[in-house]
Chains A and B, each alone.
Chain A
Amino acid sequence: MKKRLLLAEDDELLSSLLKFRLEKSGYAVDVVVNGKDVKKYLTTTTPDLIVSDIMMPYMSGIELIDYVRNELNSKLPIIIISSAGNEENVLNAFEMGANDFLSKPVSPPELLIRVARVLKSA
């Protein structure tokens, strides 16, 4: 059975490209473009992994982690995508309970490796 991933990314071009690459590697990928949709999605579906950009409309990646960990009380693995030079946010993300992070510009093969590793350890 395919692992289901939630890709939260407001850049449509990048999300389309990453979705394509992840699907090509055998994952089922759902894309949402803002924090509101993430919350809506999580009320109905529980993915195996969340890949989220740290900067999103309505809800940042950090808030998303907080929501998942503290409100949903879920140990759902989360990978954060952050801009380079945003180390403070990355540290915050790890403190909040992120499982891994990836810096922009993204290397799709690297994302695949990290996704596989996180899913394996989850």
Chain B
Amino acid sequence: MIINNVTYLTIAPKIGVGFLWILAIIFAVITALYIAITFYTKSNLTFKLQRKKIKKRELGPIVSEFLFFDEETATLEDKNNYIRLKIKIRQMLKNKRNRKVLSEVLVELSQDLSGETLKQLHSLYVNLGLDKDALEKLKSWRWYTISQGVLELTQMQVTDSYKKITKFVNGSRGVLRKQSVIAIVSLKDEGINYFLDTTQYKISEWQQLKLLEILQNKKNYDPPRFKNWLFSKNTDTVLFALRLVKYYNQSDANDSIIQLIRHKNNLIRQVAIQCVSEFNLVIARASLKKVFHSSTNDSKLLIIEALENLGFKEDVQFLNTIEDRNEVFAVKNKALAAINSLLPENDLELEGLENIDTQEILAKPTKAINPLEVTITPRTEVEKDVTSAIDQLIANTEELPVQDDTEEVTETIDFTLGDTDVIVEDVPLDDIKHLEFIEFLESKKESIAIDNVNALYSSLEKNKTEEGVAELKKVEDASKTIIFNSQSVFKSLYDVCDTEAKLILLDEIAALGDQKELQLVTDLLEAPELEIKKKAAIVKEIIEAKLQLRKEKENAVSLDVNTTNTVELSDVTYNDISGPKITPSTIAVLVSKTALDKELLSLEFCFLEEGLMDKAEDELNYFDINFKLSEEFYKKKHN
């Protein structure tokens, strides 16, 4: 529907220009009034503050005169001045505003003064009758006025107001209630008793701290027996009372504390457990154990701590059950710590430790005959312990007659050179070169190293005995059973993916892939999906470029090494009963696997290597060891 101008004018309400003027004037007046009122209020406030400030300056010296007037030492002039001021202040106090200012002055000063002067200030406040004004405020219907009155009476220590303030302790207004509690506890020693007896509301943590602070600051304070409130119907009262029992070391509440270990409220239970620990309540041990399983983890930790502090070895059995149960790690760990504390370094079965049979190690002349320098790098605390144990054993073996059969081993092991050129450099005893040497060896034939080294080690260990040969074959067979998966690890995943996921997977292959992935992406060039084909072509290029780069890097490394001797490892044979001919240092080089080398290995090889290393650790306990080439070895090579 189209509304033309004429129609619009006919349906629009008619507002006269005069009416609009009236509205404008009304709004202008309201605005002016608003500005005027704001200005007046602000000015009035400033004026009042200024007047108050002047009045305070005027009253300050008078208050000082009253406070420090000493009738005994005062001269006649001082006494006259004092009387004159007294009259003046009486006159001033007839004015309500002056009374208010004077109250403020005294309250402010009470915060900055201490000692005898503060006491005189308090009595001056009462003598001038200013407390009556504060008491009058308590009758107000405004809660904040009452609160101001309570605060003033508390600060000026008007103990007579105690009774009047108590009626606000269970008031409906939270602020007033808290203010009143602080007041009654401050004003009289029995205030805390009244509060704990009557309070029906929750006592906040802040309130508890504040009340404790007030009690702490009380001079010559004799605290009541807080055990009387340990069975209050208000759980907050129980908790606060329990904390006070703990703070004031009231050991007469032992029975109640033991009962409170079973309290449903978790906080109360925890404080009770802490009390047990602090008061050394040995008889509570049984209760602690009973409630353990129904407690929260925090409470469990406290229970274990309490049992640890109580220090009974009989509790170890209970702590052991905790360790065996399906508890959270922190609880189990705490239990272990407690056991260790109760039975220090005794009867502890640590997981992850290798079983070191001292006799076995002593029987094997491995360490004694090995001329290689051995560096063990501990990775964990447990391993450190093992390391120190091995060190100890080595020290012991050193004292035994050492059988140096290195020469024999070197001569008898027949080490056949094969296709792989392993360049053994006549390097000085320098760590950096040594590492380069290892890196070079690894880059040459990383895939054969582990199998051969295991076998060679076994040979070295058994040293051409029949037993050794049998063992050697066993290891060899084991090595053969490990099948390299020539397929890419991405293949199985690729087969179950949809096209979109396959594209994402190809991105990952581009980032991580190597030779095996190259085969996979080559196959994918024949894939039915066009997108996959295109992507595979790109990924193939990326992988090829990466492999080329790696090859160049390897070549660069090999050029750096000065080749003097060549050992072929791939065809190491074990046919001869005497075993392969190999020097211990060569073995050491093969065994050493640095993190840098590991990065270059394919994923499958990493898993294989890890498996073999674990196996080797179990059998020989050698493969966690970094060997250094001994000086002796280089000398021999040189000659």
Chain A: residues with CB nearer than 8 A to chain B?
Answer: 11-14, 16-17, 20-21, 24, 104-110
Contact = CB atoms under 8 A, between A and B. Distances in A.
Interface in B76-107: 105
A107 B120 CA distance: 12
Interface string B40-75: 000000000000000011001101110110000000
Interface in B114-131: 114-118
Nearest to A15: B60
Contact of A14 (B112, B116, B118): B112
A20 B64 CA distance: 7
16 contacts: A12-B56, A13-B105, A13-B108, A13-B109, A14-B113, A16-B64, A17-B60, A17-B63, A17-B109, A105-B113, A106-B114, A107-B114, A107-B117, A109-B115, A109-B117, A110-B115
Size bracket, chain B contacts: 20 to 34
B356 to A, nearest CB: 53
B111 interface: yes
Nearest to A14: B112
A24 B112 contact: no
A14 B60 CA distance: 9
A29 to B, nearest CB: 12
Given A20-B64, A20-B65, A104 B115 contact: no
Given A13-B56, A107-B115, A109-B116, 8 more contacts: A14-B112, A17-B60, A17-B113, A20-B64, A21-B68, A105-B111, A107-B116, A108-B117
A17 B64 contact: yes
- For B60, B111, B112, B114, the residue with the greatest tally of chain A CB atoms inside 10 Å of its CB is B112
Interface of B: 56-57, 60-61, 63-65, 67-68, 105, 108-109, 111-118
B304 to A, nearest CB: 36
A21 B64 contact: yes
Contacts of A24: 68
Contacts of A104: 112
Nearest to A23: B64
B119 to A, nearest CB: 11
Contacts of A14: 109, 112-113
A26 to B, nearest CB: 13
A11 B53 CA distance: 12
A21 B116 CA distance: 13
Contacts of A110: 115
Main secondary structure of the interface of B (DSSP, over half): helix
Contacts of B68: 20-21, 24, 108
Nearest to A20: B64
Contacts of B67: 17
A59 B117 CA distance: 29
Nearest to A108: B117
A-B pairs, top 6 by smallest CB distance, nearest first, are A107-B115, A20-B64, A16-B60, A105-B114, A14-B112, A107-B114
A104 B118 CA distance: 12
Contacts of B118: 105
Contacts of B112: 11, 13-14, 104-106
A24 B74 CA distance: 11
A53 to B, nearest CB: 10
A18 B105 CA distance: 15
A24 B73 CA distance: 11
A74 B460 CA distance: 84
A13 B60 contact: yes
A19 B422 CA distance: 95
B113 A107 contact: yes
Contact of A108 (B57, B63, B113): B113
A20 to B, nearest CB: 4
A12 B67 CA distance: 17
B85 to A, nearest CB: 12
A17 B110 CA distance: 12
A51 B533 CA distance: 88
Which of B57, B105, B113: most chain A CB closer than 10 A? B113
Nearest to B111: A105
Contacts of A12: 56-57, 60
B547 to A, nearest CB: 64
A24 B111 CA distance: 22
A14 B68 CA distance: 14
B366 to A, nearest CB: 61
A23 to B, nearest CB: 10
Nearest to A105: B114
A16 B117 contact: no
Contacts of B113: 14, 17, 105-108
Contacts of A106: 112-114
Contacts of A13: 56, 60, 105, 108-109, 112
A108 B111 CA distance: 13
B573 to A, nearest CB: 77
Contacts of B60: 12-13, 16-17
A87 B118 CA distance: 23
Nearest to B117: A108
Nearest to B56: A13
A15 to B, nearest CB: 9
A70 B111 CA distance: 34
Contacts of A20: 61, 64-65, 68
Contacts of B105: 13
Nearest to A83: B112
Contacts of B116: 107, 109
Contacts of B111: 105
A104 B112 CA distance: 6
